[in-house]
Amino acid sequence: MGVATLQEARTASTAERPRTGQTARLVLDGKTYELPIVVGTENEKAIDTSQLRAETGYITLDNGFGNTGACQSRITFIDGEKGILRYRGIPIEELAEKSTFTETAHLIMYGELPTKTQLERFSKRLNCSSLIHEDMLHFFTGFPKDAHPMAILTTVVASLSAFYPVPEQLDEPAEEQVIANLMSQIRTIAAFSYKKSIGEPIVYPSNKLRFVENFLTMMFSSPVKDYHLDPDIVRAVDVFFLLHADHEQNCSTSTVRLAGSSLGNIYAVVSAGICALWGKLHGGANQEVVNMLQYIRRNGCSPEEFVARAKDKKERLMGFGHRVYRTFDPRARIIKQICHKLLNKRGVSDPCFDIALKLEEIALKDDYFLSRHLYPNVDFYSGLILKAAGFPTNMFTVLFAIGRMPGWLAQWREMHHDPGFKIARPRQIYQGPTLRHYVPVSERV
């Protein structure tokens, strides 16, 4: 087997607009192949290997897909080295300051900020789609009392396909309704799941309340107790959803694209994404942060001692570092400010927040963490916000799923409207036994 060398045949200046005709030269076994260069609007460069196996007999091997582009997308841009996150070109900082989750969801889904009329229509459609079929309540009574809310969520979301059949050919009105159903009904299912876990009667959604207010009321009010909507908590949860609305080709989004590429039912496809999100290395990370902070407080361990133990690999410092960001996670800066405001309210203080601040202070002065690009990520503070808002830790990942729903649906929609759409089918490098033959059981040693 020959040795492969790869180089760009022509390199454009980063200041120049991308030029067509760029190629990368691949030399294999004495033969030279010209591979097209694809350049994104932010000057990201990729080598198009879609015809590599057909032309050379080789495939690429990229464990974890850290260097593999699975699609071309117009939705989210991330520059991990510079700490940049933009939805449809708009910086996350501007959206978090000026926008709302519902407006941002429309932006992600359809490409532009909505007009006032479009936003009112979108919001009304979400409210009108918030009820779930009454027969679905039997699902909730059938689950064990201690069932994890994520287990209920994945099951009931997949079951929506039986109650809201998706037509074989999705026209625009049908697609819009499916999107509205999933965006709105997921919070209804989430609230019903919580009520089931604490043995309280469900609270139905109201057409008079906005997206987050509606969800909080379904979660925390009851027939014998009204829920006071604190504007700071409403805003904190809204920003939490907004910051999680999309994040490029992460594990759960890639799962949605992979499952959706089979033309599977969209409710089942999203349920697959929720299952991928469930893991503690993905959507469950903020729950792990809160567990860590409570562990430090409960055991009387000082933040300095815990950091020292983490450096010695005796403990794991949760909420630091990110697969993409090599500097500060831009969402962490935003949510830290929200956290400060919320936890400085009278009667809302949390000793775990003081521990978190101390951990951050220590880590950001320590070359061990700085040299490894281990900065606080969004999960480091988001769990504290949800805890302050009254959510139990087993609901944290459920809230992540509510926030991420627009991104999953936008990615699914973009994929299905792509003229080059095809079913996803990764390759592998087989490392098992070579040819061998069946041995009858009587002859096996």
Domain assignment of residue 53, yes or no: yes
Domain assignment of residue 186, yes or no: yes
The pLDDT score that the predictor gives to residue 205 is 96
Selection from 406, 409, 401, 405 nearest residue 193 by Cα: 401
Q: Compute the C-alpha angle 328/332/336, nearest 5°.
A: 130
Which position among 322, 329, 340, 416 bears the catalytic label? 322
Identify the domain containing residue 10 by its residue range.
5-61
The pLDDT score that the predictor gives to residue 13 is 32
Domain assignment of residue 419, yes or no: no
Same domain, 114 and 237: yes
Same domain, 274 and 306: no
The pLDDT score that the predictor gives to residue 418 is 94
Give 336-375 as a 3 state SS string. HHHHHHHHCCCCCCCHHHHHHHHHHHHHCCCHHHHCCCCC
Same domain, 273 and 135: yes
- What's the gap between Cα 406 and its chain centre? 10
In the predicted model, residues of the chain with pLDDT beneath 50 are: 1-19
Domain assignment of residue 184, yes or no: yes
The pLDDT score that the predictor gives to residue 83 is 94
What are the backbone dihedrals phi and psi of residue 316, each rounded to the nearest 5 degrees, phi first?
-115, 125
Which position among 238, 246, 329, 379 bears the catalytic label? 379
Same domain, 289 and 276: no
Domain assignment of residue 431, yes or no: no
Q: How big is the chain, counted in residues? A: 445
Domain assignment of residue 434, yes or no: no
Same domain, 156 and 214: yes
The pLDDT score that the predictor gives to residue 184 is 97
Selection from 285, 278, 293, 311 nearest residue 378 by Cα: 285
Q: Alpha-carbon distance 296 to 156, whole Å? A: 36
Selection from 427, 393, 212 nearest residue 318 by Cα: 393
Same domain, 196 and 345: no
Domain assignment of residue 10, yes or no: yes
The pLDDT score that the predictor gives to residue 23 is 92
The pLDDT score that the predictor gives to residue 176 is 95
Same domain, 166 and 291: no
Residue whose structure tokens are 């101390």: 358
Can 226 be counted among the known catalytic residues?
no
Can 322 be counted among the known catalytic residues?
yes
Domain assignment of residue 204, yes or no: yes
The pLDDT score that the predictor gives to residue 145 is 83
The pLDDT score that the predictor gives to residue 79 is 95
Domains: count for the chain = 3
The pLDDT score that the predictor gives to residue 300 is 85
Same domain, 291 and 349: yes
The pLDDT score that the predictor gives to residue 440 is 97
